[in-house]
Amino acid sequence: MASVALAANSTAPLPVAAFERVYKIYGRGDTEVRALDGVSLEIADGAFVAVMGPSGSGKSTAMNILGCLDQPTAGAYKFKGVDVAKISRDQRALLRRHYLGFVFQGFNLLARTSALENLELPLIYRRVPKATRRELAMEALEIVGLKGREHHTAAELSGGQQQRVAIARAIVTKPTLLLADEPTGNLDSARSHEIMQLLTRLNRERGLTIVLVTHEEDIAAFAGRRLDFRDGHIVRQIETPRAG
3-class secondary structure, 93 = helix
Hey, what CATH topology would domain 17-239 get? Rossmann fold (3.40.50)
CA dist., res. 180 & res. 157, Å (int):
20
3-class secondary structure, 229 = strand
CA dist., res. 200 & res. 180, Å (int):
12
Let me know if 66 is exposed, middle or buried by CB neighbors in 10 A (0-12, 13-18, 19+). Answer: buried
pTM here is: 0.91
pLDDT tens, the chain, 244 aa long: 345 656 555 466 889 999 999 999 999 888 899 999 999 999 999 999 999 999 999 999 999 999 999 999 999 999 999 999 999 999 999 999 899 999 998 888 888 899 999 999 999 988 999 999 999 999 999 999 999 999 999 889 999 999 999 999 999 999 999 999 999 988 999 999 999 999 999 999 999 999 999 999 999 999 999 999 999 999 999 987 766 6
Q: Check residue 187 and give left, alpha or beta (phi > 0: left; psi -120 to 50: alpha).
A: beta
Domain boundaries, given as residue ranges, for the chain: 17-239
pLDDT number for residue 28: 87
Helix (H) or strand (E) holding 90: helix 89-99
Angle between helices 159-171 and 115-125 (to 10 degrees): 20
Do residues 97 and 126 touch, judged by C-beta distance below 8 A?
yes
Do residues 213 and 44 touch, judged by C-beta distance below 8 A?
no
